[in-house]
A and B are shown apart, each in its own frame.
Chain A
């Protein structure tokens, strides 16, 4: 269950970013990008995030997890393609020398805040 560690890191990173911003009432949502190579349970992550964000401005924020398909470029024939399953081979020329360009990331992309003078639905 490494989702607990991920949740801790998300809370820490977003809290740190909040330090420079004035009059924050709360964080409404956090956008994450998760490459398809990662095995991650969104339910477990939600659960752990609730636990770790309790009592912070992040409490109640919604995690928006965007799954990123595995995409690679062939270093031999330059073909760019989306991977079929987990076969890391060029579908055009059969070369195993490919460079993954998306689908391995685990990123905090952005977050949405509500300021003191806003309603923020």
Chain B
């Protein structure tokens, strides 16, 4: 006997993500999900962003990590509201899920926050599958990783709203073809915004900041 189901496998996660998104919007907090391969520069970019905007806006960070608290310690040093999720106890999961974000939100001091960064676990596959309830998905691709990544991990570049091409300062030393990268990634997601930055030298960071401020304005305008 055949029983019809027709349900999304990740339905529970999707519902929870929508709840998180609504909850944060009502609080006027723009939630940014930072995704990338290990070491592309997520933490450094968050640090630069807080340095630039920290005197005008309040930040929170949720750090996803399989084992360590190293990144959370970096964030705490900036004086931002930090919450660490270690996925090790959950079987070393390679992504964050909406339910864990919900649990983190219950623990964090959210009053007065303007931005909440979620630093997802470093890989280009699993985090793309799980909506966490963010308003903005940013994928960081660093120049040493090569121009073919959008073709290998298309879903990541489809679910992202903006791609930060980081470590642009290293270009003179690499064979990376940024034009080919643009072509590849726009084929996968024609609406994607692309910003070339160096979290090290600060190049391009202002364009990223502008985008964040515009997105937050859009969100809080909606909330009113």
Contact = CB atoms under 8 A, between A and B. Distances in A.
Given A38-B129, A86-B188, A96-B190, A112 B6 contact: no
B5 A17 contact: yes
Interface string B48-83: 000000000000000000000000000000000000
A13 B153 CA distance: 28
> How many B residues touch the partner, as a band?
20 to 34
B9 A107 contact: yes
A113 B8 contact: no
B125 interface: yes
Given A86-B187, A88-B188, A2 B125 contact: yes
User: For A1, A6, A110, which residue has the most chain B Cβ atoms within 10 angstroms?
Assistant: A1
Interface string B82-102: 000000000101110100000
A10 interface: yes
User: For A5, A105, A113, which residue has the most chain B Cβ atoms within 10 angstroms?
Assistant: A5
A87 B187 contact: yes
Contacts of B186: 96
A92 interface: no
A109 B188 contact: no
B155 A38 contact: yes
A5 B4 contact: no
Interface in A92-119: 96-97, 105-113, 115
Given A1-B94, A106-B10, A17 B3 contact: yes
Interface of A is mostly: mixed
Nearest to B188: A86
Contacts of A61: none
11 contacts: A1-B94, A1-B126, A6-B9, A9-B13, A10-B9, A87-B187, A88-B188, A107-B7, A109-B4, A110-B5, A110-B6
Interface of A: 1-2, 4-6, 9-10, 12-14, 17, 21, 32, 37-39, 85-89, 96-97, 105-113, 115
Interface of B: 1-13, 91, 93-95, 97, 125-126, 129-130, 150-151, 153-155, 158, 186-191
Given A21-B3, A86-B188, A110-B5, 8 more contacts: A1-B126, A6-B9, A9-B11, A9-B13, A32-B9, A39-B125, A86-B187, A107-B7
Q: Lowest 9 CB-CB distances: which A-B pairs, in order?
A: A96-B190, A2-B126, A86-B154, A87-B187, A108-B5, A106-B9, A110-B4, A9-B9, A86-B188
